Structure 1
Amino acid sequence: MIKNIYTLLLIALWAVATPVSASTPDLLKGANAIVNQEEKVFTVHSLSKGTTHVKRVVTIYNEHGNDHAKLYVHHDKLNKVDFIKGTSFDRNGKKIKNLKNSEIRNVSASSADNEVLDNRIMIAELTHQVYPYKVEFEYQTTSSNMLFYPTWIPLSNSKTSVAKATFQVIMPKGMTLRYRESNLKEKVHQWSTATHDLYSWEVSNLTPVESEPYAPHMLELLPMVRTAPSDFEVQGYKGNMDTWEAYGKWINQLNEGRDVLPEATKAKLQAMVAGIDDPVEKIKKVYQYLQSNTRYVSIQLGLGGWQPFEASFVDSKGYGDCKALTNYTKAMLQAVGIPSIYALVNGGSNERGVLTDFPSSQFNHVILSVPMKQDTLWLECTSQFESAGFSGSFTGDRHALLITPTGGKLVKTQEYTAKDNLQSRLATVKLDESGNAVAQVQTRYTGIAHEDHRDVIHNLSPEEQRKWLYRTISIPAFDLKSYAFDLKKGRMPEVNEKLELSLRQLATVSGKRMFLTPNLMNRWTTVPQNTGNRKYEVVRSSAYINVDTIVYEMPAGFALEFKPNDLSFSTAFGSFESKVTIDGRQVTYIRTLQMDKGRYKPEVYAAMVAFMNEVYKADQQQVVFVKSIQ
């Protein structure tokens, strides 16, 4: 019966001889390529096995659409590629070539020296140099990792149109499909046979999705269907995903018995914290031991993508992936009497947030949660230099799934506010009559604002650090005489930076006048355009405060002719203040900018751009001095 259903779903989707130019004007507008037809069929055979079959026809109109002539199919120990087929046609529908098996490359998915993966990629390419041309790909994969069901995103490229695309899921009777639809005009079509339940989605005539400044994550805007199982099995481990609690219970199965440390290591840890009563100090000691004695290696082998190596393995080998190192740290803290919780999180500064209403495997990283009396301390166990308790932009302010003894529990990691992410600068600048200057600059960066400097300190040589400063210091013409960084670790870490600069033509001299823009290093040079009718919500994902205090010593013989008015304005997006004071030859400029994060209705975008324009204009204001006649 399943074979008959499958055959019906794969009835001919296109006519090979159809010229590639047969597309509507709406689909052609702004598109580098058009998906003429795509069909994706996911067939679940059992709790532990499923098959995905994809047929795709794309017309490519210029070189920017050539990515569609390349097919990438991932595979590993638990996901096998059954076959790949491909054919290309010229603009008249005449066949150019058939893809040969010998032309399909099979390469490692590893891109770093510290990765041990069985992930590989099959790459098929049918690129042609005369446009337009058409490519047809067909492939099938079989998976024994039923933790993951497919996500269907028919319109995945901002410069691609879709004439028609369909997605079908075939489930055996008695098994439940869970799904979540987004941005679809037509909902699921569902029907049944005596042996199977079938689900089908279809979209047509989709034009490119054009993003807007400060738009939501693209995955929020695209038509999409996410699917997930209720019951599943991976390499003998059965689980349920109907709730976060149930999913956490499955993770507990994988972790069970893997947190046992050698007795000698326990004794060493206990001796290390002997005499320390403060739990935080104990945690720091253990964390420092972790950083000094282990290193991160990404190990993704079969079930190892989700199951940590034993703590004893990490203890003897000195390396592990995020799961293994987190499990190891949990075991070490337990040895010194500190309970902690293994936690799944979606790591990355630009990752989409977890869909809390759709329990499923949405995580790519593991960290450790250490509950304290007043709050929670989070540990990033893969870093050899991170501060204990600092989540930062990689895992901060997002949902994590605590894997408690009773199952999964969603919580939020630490949020970093504008006050936490501070850049505070004090500079003294001495000008000469030609407008050149020397400057001493001290800047303090805290919270997320310190991360760039932290990475530079740990990853770059002194010469590379100097080059980085030349690239990042926002002064038109300068020489860096000296620099120094001081990193202070803590739950709110900071970097203190000292610079000695020689500045060329900092002020403009014209005749007897000298024009000085007092904002030395923190001017806004661009603002987003007001796009008129806004379609999407406005999302500001970062919050920070910048405070600049710049003290200028003017050359003798110059008197003030003009100074800008003090400014102060506040909006829902942030606030701005600037002030210039004159005391003899000393000019003091103080600028404070606070930008807040938030999500706003589309119609407020114009107001945000207006606010940013006011900041931009304020940053360009000048103080004018005139030389006294002797």
Structure 2
Amino acid sequence: MKNLLYIVLILCIQEATGQAREFARINKETLTVDIKGQERLQVTNEYSITIYNEAGYSSAHFIDYEDQFRKLSSFVMIIRDKAGKKIKSIGSGKIMRFSLSQSFETGDANYVAVDPEYKNFPFTVEVTAVFDQKGFLNLPTWIPRDRFNVSVDASTLKVVIPFDYRLRFKEENLKSHNVESINKGKSNLHSWTVKDLSAVERDVTYKSFIEDQPKVYLAPSSFVLDGYVGKMISWEGFGDWFLELNQNRNTLLPGTMKMLDDLPNDDVETTVATLYKYMQDRTRYVSIQLGIGGFQSLPAKFVDERGYGECKALTNYMKAMLHYKGIKSNYILAKAGQDASNIKNEFPSNQFNHVFLGVVDNQDTIFLECTSQTIPPNYIGTFTDDRHVLWVDSARSQIIRTPVYDENENVLKKNANLNLDENGNANLDLDVNYNGIFFDKSSLFNTYTSEQLDDYNLSQFDYRDFTITNFEVDQNVNLAELNCKYTLEIQNLAKKVADRLILVPAMLQPMDFYIHPNEFTRYLEIRRGFTLDETIIVDLPENFRVDVKPESEAISTQFGNYEINISYELNKIRILRKVIIKKGSYEADTFDAFLDFKKKIEKLDNQKIVLGKKT
């Protein structure tokens, strides 16, 4: 009972003083990276962490990974109570292992995890874990404080290298680098230490939190992976290693070569489109990450025979067909993901998780995302747009930036015809045209089951009581354009007050559907600008007229523009609404200004259109 009162008292003091709550404390941590040569590496992580409450219990778990090249060779976890008395010791026999791969993937990477299974707070966990690696492409990144509400008393990174090995590193937010000679001059020890890092409250985004942390990125200068020698001191060297790893894997089946021989000699753009469609119709994505296969493509003949492969295999297959037709193409290595952070292009290293293809055609580049069976050529979507990537070319690999989809391309256009009855109920015929990044939704329509699609369509509308009576979808196979048609029956769309009906202009979707500012963190990032363009025609009930109609309005700011125009003629209301939101990151004062912009839009969106009966 006293412990509970003590914890409550501490929390109250922290709340009153604005001090961050402390769920756990790293008492001491040492991460040692011992590079024994181009092919051997040992990583030792020793730490002691005190867990104060249930909220910090996740920090008591040990979680790491193994694969064909990286194995856990030694492990011990010791649990101590609040007085420092040893409660139990957990060895490697208690480690849980489960696959890193998803259900549609095949791989040899596994999580290794240990749960201390002790919750008599506070308690301390001491861990020593040793990993041995044979061959390495990546080195650990040291981030002493990588979680909210966890403080750090002391944390040290040690890197041991042969005296003639060049260590490559990039520091951020610290300057504590020290170098000394050890092992009688046979090795050099690089070290960094931080002390007294207080806990940080979860009132900022994790992205901004992690950007502010002291950290050290490491990368090899030279390495050997499964017999393939590589250098990483430049992007050119890394690109050459990737090319060597994937060379001589472009043999196709005789039937495929005959098909290619029979194709007409069209221009590059037409031939690329024809082969891209051929590949999409014959293949599907299945990730296979066994051994060096995490970096090396399966042979084109494998994909040709079986009709499946992961991103490298499908990209290599497409590349092989283009090569057979005499069209040069280039691998493009990317850090993929809709919200993925950008790579550090000034620090050559393996920062990539995806590969796709580029074809230079005169002054233009055709980008080919080879894992999709439905998108058109030269559309990469939010998966790899607007970021630095590595264009792989023999002795000339370089960082380029992928296309940006902005508010002029990312257009969601809606045309609605709404038939309103005298009780406020409505029949809605809605055409929706998706362009730019909105086209990403096509993957949903092509992969969802009928039940999933029904749930998705219902989620697209904000009405309290409605039924979707018809839905049709049509995709332009040559352009990144998607068209959907909906028919809805909506109950009480207009609010009935006595013999009047009340509508609002934004009757399709509110702004909250597209933008979600977090007023707690006061941070908002619009990664991709977009435009909403709506035309709504409302057929009024017989014997009704417009009694109150809002005036047309326009807003122009640094964040975007808004325009609404409402007209009434021949028993119809015409609403033209256009919202343009620009790309940007907003915090503090600019966040407040953006929020004010959004609130002005919502105020105009919710003006009242009042309908009354004709006398």
TM-score by length of 2: 0.92
Pick from 260, 267, 282: which aligns with 1:278?
Answer: 267
Note closer, same or farther for the CA distance 1:370–1:80 as it changes in structure 2 (3 Å cut): same
> How many Å separate the matches in 1 of 2:66 and 2:271?
43
1:375 corresponds in structure 2 to 364
Pick from 393, 400, 403: which aligns with 1:411?
Answer: 400
Pick from 532, 536, 541: which aligns with 1:550?
Answer: 536
Q: How does 1:602-613 map to 2 (within 5 A)?
A: 603-613=589-599
Residue identity in the other structure for 1:347? A
Deviations 1:445-486 (A, max 9, x none): 11211212x122211233431222112222232111111111
> How many Å separate the matches in 2 of 1:280 and 1:213?
47
1:479 and 2:470 correspond? no
> How many Å separate the matches in 1 of 2:474 and 2:328?
33
1:562 corresponds in structure 2 to 548
Note closer, same or farther for the CA distance 1:432–1:305 as it changes in structure 2 (3 Å cut): same
> How many Å separate the matches in 1 of 2:311 and 2:605?
44
Deviations 1:51-105 (A, max 9, x none): 1100122222232322112212211111111111101122332322211433212
Q: How does 1:276-355 map to 2 (within 5 A)?
A: 276-355=265-344
Deviations 1:8-56 (A, max 9, x none): xxxxxxxxxxxxx999979983232222222111111111111110012
1:511 and 2:498 correspond? yes
2:379 corresponds in structure 1 to 390
| Backbone CA RMSD of aligned residues | 2.5
Note closer, same or farther for the CA distance 1:211–1:574 as it changes in structure 2 (3 Å cut): farther
Say which SS state the counterpart of residue 146 (structure 1) adopts. Answer: coil
Say which SS state the counterpart of residue 327 (structure 2) adopts. Answer: coil
| Residue 495 of structure 1, CA deviation | 1.2
> How many Å separate the matches in 2 of 1:596 and 1:464?
32
1:58 and 2:49 correspond? yes
| Residue 122 of structure 1, CA deviation | 1.8
> How many Å separate the matches in 2 of 1:619 and 1:87?
60
Q: How does 1:108-123 map to 2 (within 5 A)?
A: 108-112=99-103, 114-123=104-113
1:163 and 2:183 correspond? no
| Residue 429 of structure 1, CA deviation | 0.9
1:362 and 2:348 correspond? no
Pick from 136, 148, 161: which aligns with 2:138?
Answer: 148
Structure 2 portions without partners, runs of 5+? 1-8
1:497 corresponds in structure 2 to 484
Say which SS state the counterpart of residue 99 (structure 1) adopts. Answer: strand
1:74 corresponds in structure 2 to 65
> How many Å separate the matches in 1 of 2:393 and 2:518?
48
TM-score by length of 1: 0.90
Identity of aligned residues (%): 31
> How many Å separate the matches in 1 of 2:164 and 2:331?
33
Say which SS state the counterpart of residue 618 (structure 1) adopts. Answer: helix
Note closer, same or farther for the CA distance 1:120–1:461 as it changes in structure 2 (3 Å cut): closer
Contact 1:483 1:499 (C-alpha < 8 Å) held by counterparts: yes
| Residue 174 of structure 1, CA deviation | 0.9
Aligned length: 600
Note closer, same or farther for the CA distance 1:36–1:327 as it changes in structure 2 (3 Å cut): same
Note closer, same or farther for the CA distance 1:381–1:249 as it changes in structure 2 (3 Å cut): same
Q: How does 1:126-275 map to 2 (within 5 A)?
A: 126-184=116-174, 186-193=175-182, 194-210=185-201, 219-271=210-262, 273-274=263-264
> How many Å separate the matches in 1 of 2:283 and 2:338?
25
Deviations 1:286-305 (A, max 9, x none): 11221222222212122211
Contact 2:38 2:135 (C-alpha < 8 Å) held by counterparts: no
> How many Å separate the matches in 2 of 1:214 and 1:54?
28
Contact 1:27 1:206 (C-alpha < 8 Å) held by counterparts: no
2:449 corresponds in structure 1 to 461
Deviations 1:398-450 (A, max 9, x none): 12212112242111122211121110001111111211111111110112112
Residue identity in the other structure for 2:544? F
> How many Å separate the matches in 1 of 2:220 and 2:356?
25
Note closer, same or farther for the CA distance 1:594–1:49 as it changes in structure 2 (3 Å cut): same
> How many Å separate the matches in 1 of 2:366 and 2:209?
32
Contact 2:74 2:92 (C-alpha < 8 Å) held by counterparts: no
Structure 1 portions without partners, runs of 5+? 1-20
Residue identity in the other structure for 1:157? R
| Residue 190 of structure 1, CA deviation | 2.4
